[in-house]
Amino acid sequence: MENIKIADADFPASYIAADKAAINAQGKYLRVIRADLFLLIIGALVLVYVYPAGINRYIAIISTLLFAGSLAATLILQKNRYEKTWYGARAIAESVKTLTWKYMTCAEPFMLDTDINRVNDAFIGELNNILGKRDEIVWAITEESRLAPQISEKMKTVRALNSEQRKNIYIEQRINDQRVWYRDKSIYNRKAESRWYGWVIFSQLLAFAASISIIAFPSSPVNLTGVFAAMAAAFLAWMQTRQHQELAQSYSIAAYELDMIAEKADRILTEDELSEFVSDAENAVSREHTLWVARRDKIT
């Protein structure tokens, strides 16, 4: 029975719907920002050359359209608030996942009870509380997903196992999975931060060199200073959007906390100890995610 594999489809319908909504909103948010920054750079690029008089009008039209496209992208971001849906839906999804693991492992507040209906009602009540705190994005959860079960058969199966089996499943498929995920993401974000800083510095060096070339060759019909400055600004804006440094640090801390919690696994002998163990681990995960949401709230 310990070979039971828990997939995303085995989590409550509210998790599946919120996870899908978060992924979709994140994708739209990042695509529009990329388009916005790209149009700004291209708009600056078409203006680097002093064109003949007969072409200037067409170049002006092209640059105007590019900057208008960038403005439209900014307005789309302001109107649709994709980032709000993204982190709101992600907050719901992660809260539901934490609640689900507590339910499956019989941890507080879903300890073993002879009346399973009472436990199930308590679980549904907690789900409603989570959704109520983010009612501004509940619309993003599709009607089709709401029709799926909130307590799946796999959840019931895991809950019915003995404490040792539940502990092993939790350690392998929750704690170890999160430890690997946090560690990999921390490494990825550290590398991404260094890479984007490299692009910013490179663009600034090019802008500096372009400025020197204009001093040396004042009659040159080409001035790339503005383009390289726009590139540097765009790369900095992208770094701010992605928050690689902050994520690398918070993911590293979360992985370390889970490493320390995992060390206690061998000492778990009772249901109460398992409940405390699960609560400690889920608190560590929730702490990291709360900080993530707080950072997003701050920059939006």
Instruction: Give 10-residue mean pLDDT values along the chain (300 residues).
Output: 82 91 93 94 85 79 91 92 88 93 95 87 92 71 67 94 94 95 95 95 94 87 88 92 88 92 91 94 85 61
User: How is residue 182 written in tokens?
Assistant: 């946090």
Q: Is 38:69 a contact under the CB 8 Å cutoff? A: no
User: Any idea which residue has 């529009």 for tokens?
Assistant: 32
* Whole-number pLDDT of residue 153: 93
Q: What is the per-residue pLDDT for 2? A: 58
Quote the CA–CA distance of 244 and 260 in Å, as a whole number.
Answer: 24
Q: Is the peptide bond before 52 cis (omega within 30 degrees of 0)?
A: no
- Per residue in 64-122, pLDDT tens? 899 999 999 999 998 988 988 888 888 889 999 999 999 999 999 998 877 899 999 99
The C-alpha atoms of residue 16 and residue 85 are separated, in whole angstroms, by 15
pLDDT on residue 131: 83
231: DSSP letter: H
Total residue length of the chain: 300
Instruction: Decide: 59 and 46 in contact? Cβ < 8 Å.
Output: yes
CB 151 within 8 Å of CB 120: yes
Angstrom distance (rounded) from CA 274 to CA 42:
58
Helices assigned H by DSSP within 134-243: 143-146, 153-159, 163-170, 176-216, 225-242
C-alpha span between 283 and 201 (Å, rounded): 39
The reported pLDDT for the residue numbered 144 is 52
pLDDT at 66: 92
| pLDDT at residue 141, rounded to an integer | 67
pLDDT of residue 142: 61
Amino acid 145: pLDDT: 58
